[in-house]
Structure 1
Amino acid sequence: MPTLFRFLFVLAVIAGIVYGSMVALVVLVEPRERDVTVRIPSERLNPAPQR
């Protein structure tokens, strides 16, 4: 039984570290706003008529 508790404790610590790092990313990192341009080929907008 002690090994099960140790295993669960290690999993809980790892989950806490992951959760804490995600919270830190949300709080500390500010995303930069920028324009996004996506080129679409004209063949996709105006497909050639089927014969």
Structure 2
Amino acid sequence: MKTILTKKLKKTQKREAPKNSNKPRYISKAERAELEASVNRPTESQDLSE
């Protein structure tokens, strides 16, 4: 009986683990490129105006 309950407990904990993790959200390569480009654009426009 105890083994059955521990197996069920482990299953539920595995199911809930992703919700409770402190792991940062995955950012794809394309999103990183867009973010980098958007960060670089304002600095380039400032350089051109000076």
Per the normalisation by structure 1, the TM-score is 0.40
Which structure has the bigger radius of gyration? Answer: 1
Instruction: Determine which structure has the larger helix proportion and give its number.
Output: 2
